[in-house]
Structure formats: C-alpha cells, structure tokens
C-alpha cells in the first residue's frame, strides 16, 4: 500500500466485499497524510521513508466502510440503478469521454484557479474533521456554480448520513440510542464494568450473541471511543475521564449536533474534576503539615507520625533481617563443624583397627610388671651382664 501510494496520485479499489480493519486504518492515515519507514533493500543501516497524502476511491455493493473514523473522512455517493435502455458499450462510452474531456479538464482548471484566488479569504467557523478539504472546496465552489454555504450544507448532510451508517451497523450504538430516548442530560456516570453490565441487561439475547457485540468492558470502551463521533451526531455524548485515579464513563443526552455544547460541557466537567483533585491535594497537604507541627511542639522530629511509623517499621525489618542472617550463619558454621567432626571420626575409625596393639607377657613377678609399666619409655631396659633382659621385664621391642 505504501508503494502504491508513492507511485499513484489516486488510489482506487473496485468491487470491494470486505474492508479489513488494518486497511480501514491505513485509508484514514493516507487521506490525511502518513509516513512509512522500512530498511532499504541490500543495505544494513539505510532506511527508506515513504511520506504521502492521497485521495482514495472505492466502490462496493454493500457498506464496506463501517468504522466511524473512516466514514467521517468519506463522501458517500449512492449511484442509481442504470436502466437497460441506457447501457452503452465501452467503445461508445470511451468516445463520449474523449469528446467531453477538454471541457472537464478546463472546468477543473477553472476551479483550481478560483480556489487559489479565494483561499486566503475563506474563514470557516465550524470546521469538520477534514478541515483543509472543506476549506479548499469552499474556495473552489463559485467555479462549480455553488456557494460556499451550499457546499458546506451538503457536506454536513453527507457526513450525518455516514454516521447513521456507523450507528445502524453497531449493536452497541443501537442499545445506547434506545436507552437515551427518554433521557435528558447525564444518565450514566460510573465505572466501565458497571456500564458494560448495564448495557448487557438492556440488550436482547440476539444482540448479545451478535458477532460485533463487545465481550468485556475493555472491548466496550474501545468501541465507544470509535462510536463517539457518530453518537454525538445523534445527540449523545460518550466521554471517559479519570476522577481520583478511577476511570469513569459518562453518557449524556444533548441536542442533536451540539458539538460546541458538548465541548463546553466536557470542559466544565474537566475543570470541576481538576478543582476537586486540587482540593483533595490541599487537604492532604494541610493534614500533613498539622501532624508535623504537633510533633515538633512535642519535641519530636519534624517528620509526621505516619512517616515515623514507616521509618521505625523499616528499621525493625532491617534488624529482623540482620538477626535472621546471623542465625543462618551460625547454623551454617555448626553444620560445617559437625561435618568436620564426622569426617574425623570416620578417618579415626578407619585407621584405628590397623594399629598394632601391645600385648604384655603375663609374669608371676608383680613387682617387675609394675616397674616395667611405670618406667618411662625413653629409659633403657635393665639388662643383665650378658645384655639379655631379665625375667619378668619387657624389652623395647615387646613394648
């Protein structure tokens, strides 16, 4: 699509049966100006940028443009049925076009010249979404035997009809319109989930089983934002805002097409919410200042009681964490010591049976046995004159 927009001054789609959401969004961007960037082919760090703004023509038997944002940018033309008696062959039609082409081109040139002349003096009070297009068409209108007011009136009627198409095809808009028939002013101002449940109670089983019925509050919010222009054209304002940190949807009934009143009401509501939020902030600040003043009068720190509680709680938690850390460290050391002791016992038990055990010779001489066992090992063993140990005594070898 970006390449087609770059290489063609006018993009045309013929005989559409369905318009996907991505194509509907792309048409919205292309009609008001859009850009698309992608990496250049056979390049690592080069980028190709497509910037374009193009008119679009598409035709279909059924309504393929169903999203309000696209319909608000369109001019819908319903062509009459062509009788069989007026049908022509393509060759005959081409001859007629070639004969009338100079006049058509001259008329277009006259319209462009008139528009360039009148454009600096055109000042429209109420601009539609396509503001530049409306201003340019109003400037060119005298060359086409129109006045600027006639064109704007016809354009507004066409936009209203387009919004009717959007509401007729939306089950959510149908339920809201039925709900708002006997209402005046604000008839709902609550949370999105509450609005979703309220609309679900008011919808029939067939509507809730429809394919385009929102499945949850989030989907309902997205659909309501898209339907806002169409509902506003029918005198229903659907706006969402945050108050005290909570999101709310507000539905109100106003006069049909009262965009200015709607904008004024939204501005007043936003201002009121801002004032209330500011008042709450001032009250909280005053309360905090009072707490700090009382603490300072008592000889305490200037920190408020709430802050002190949080500070002491934080210190207590840190102390508790430190105690737990120390306890874990002690348990770890005890476990290591136990493991070391178990290892030493295992080694000792393994080594001890291999040691030679001294077995002293039993002798009847008790005195000699006592002297032999009480004598230090570093003293020489008593021997007789022959160098042979006496009876009843142990040699160093035996010991």
pLDDT digit string, tens, across residues 3-39: 788 888 899 999 998 888 888 888 998 888 888 787 7
- According to DSSP, residue 42 is labeled T
Alpha-carbon distance of 345 to 348, in angstroms, equals 5
Pairing of strands 11-16, 56-60: parallel
Alpha-carbon distance of 378 to 372, in angstroms, equals 12
Alpha-carbon distance of 238 to 232, in angstroms, equals 8
pTM, 2 dp: 0.56
* pLDDT tens track for 52-111: 889 999 999 888 888 888 888 999 998 888 899 989 999 999 999 999 999 999 999 999
Alpha-carbon distance of 54 to 45, in angstroms, equals 29
Q: Could you give the percent of the chain with pLDDT greater than 70?
A: 68
Rounded to the nearest integer, the mean pLDDT of the chain is 75
Alpha-carbon distance of 167 to 224, in angstroms, equals 11
Cβ atoms of residues 188 and 198 within 8 Å = yes
Residue with the larger pLDDT of the pair 337 and 38: 38
Q: What pLDDT is recorded for position 292?
A: 47
| CA dihedral sign, ordered 34, 123, 120, 160 | positive
Segment (H or E) for 243:
strand 236-243
Q: Could you give the percent of the chain with pLDDT greater than 90?
A: 25
* pLDDT tens track for 343-390: 555 545 554 454 454 555 454 554 544 444 445 545 454 444 444 445
pLDDT band at 118 (very low <50, low <70, confident <90, very high): very high
Q: What pLDDT is recorded for position 326?
A: 78
Q: Who's near 88: CB < 8 A, 6+ residues apart?
A: 96
How many residues comprise the chain? Answer: 399
pLDDT band at 255 (very low <50, low <70, confident <90, very high): low
Residue with the larger pLDDT of the pair 296 and 60: 60
Q: What pLDDT is recorded for position 165?
A: 85
CA dihedral defined by 65, 74, 3, 20, rounded to 10 degrees? Answer: -10
Alpha-carbon distance of 314 to 317, in angstroms, equals 5
Alpha-carbon distance of 84 to 94, in angstroms, equals 18
Q: What pLDDT is recorded for position 338?
A: 66
Cβ atoms of residues 57 and 11 within 8 Å = yes
pLDDT band at 150 (very low <50, low <70, confident <90, very high): very high
Closest CA to 262 of 222, 235, 226: 235
Alpha-carbon distance of 371 to 393, in angstroms, equals 8
Q: Which residues pair with 188 in a beta bridge?
A: 251
Looking at the chain, list the stretches that DSSP marks H as alpha helix, in order from N- to C-terminal side.
2-7, 21-32, 68-71, 90-118, 131-140, 148-168, 171-179, 192-202, 205-208, 217-233, 259-297, 305-351, 366-374
Cβ atoms of residues 217 and 196 within 8 Å = yes
Cβ atoms of residues 301 and 287 within 8 Å = no
């Amino acid at each position: 699509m970006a390449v087609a927009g770059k290489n063609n001054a006018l993009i045309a789609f013929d005989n559409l049966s369905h318009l996907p959401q991505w194509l509907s969004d792309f048409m919205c961007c292309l009609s008001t100006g859009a850009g698309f960037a992608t990496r250049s082919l056979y390049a690592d760090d080069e980028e190709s940028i497509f910037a374009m703004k193009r008119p679009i023509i598409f035709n279909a038997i059924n309504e393929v443009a169903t999203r309000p944002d696209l319909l608000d940018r369109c001019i819908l033309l319903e062509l009459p049925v062509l009788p069989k008696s007026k049908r022509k062959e393509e060759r005959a039609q081409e001859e007629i076009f070639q004969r009338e082409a100079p006049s058509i081109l001259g008329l277009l040139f006259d319209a462009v010249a008139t528009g360039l002349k009148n454009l600096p003096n055109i000042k429209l009070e109420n601009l539609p979404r396509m503001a530049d297009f409306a201003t340019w068409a109003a400037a060119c209108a005298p060359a086409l035997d129109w006045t600027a007011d006639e064109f704007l009136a016809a354009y507004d009627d066409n936009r209203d009809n387009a919004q009717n198409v959007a509401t007729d095809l939306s089950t959510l808009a149908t339920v809201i319109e039925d709900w708002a028939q006997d209402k005046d002013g604000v008839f709902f101002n609550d949370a999105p989930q509450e609005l979703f449940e309220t609309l679900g109670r008011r919808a029939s089983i067939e509507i809730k089983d429809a394919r385009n019925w929102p499945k949850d509050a989030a989907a309902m919010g997205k659909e309501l934002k898209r339907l806002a222009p169409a509902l506003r054209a029918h005198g229903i304002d659907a706006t969402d805002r945050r108050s005290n940190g909570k999101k709310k949807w507000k539905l109100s009934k106003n006069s049909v097409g009262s965009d200015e009143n709607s904008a004024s009401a939204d501005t007043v509501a936003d201002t009121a919410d801002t004032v209330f939020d500011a008042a709450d902030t001032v009250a909280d600040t005053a309360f905090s200042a009072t707490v700090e003043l009382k603490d300072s009068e008592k000889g305490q720190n200037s920190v408020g009681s709430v802050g002190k509680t949080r500070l002491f709680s934080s210190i207590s938690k840190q102390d508790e964490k430190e105690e737990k850390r120390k306890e874990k460290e002690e348990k770890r050391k005890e476990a290591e010591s136990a493991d070391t002791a178990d290892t030493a016992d295992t080694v000792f038990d393994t080594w001890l049976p291999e040691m030679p055990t001294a077995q002293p010779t039993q002798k009847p001489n008790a005195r000699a046995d006592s002297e032999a066992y009480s004598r230090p090992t570093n003293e020489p063993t008593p021997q007789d004159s022959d160098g042979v140990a006496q009876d009843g005594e142990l040699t160093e070898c035996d010991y």
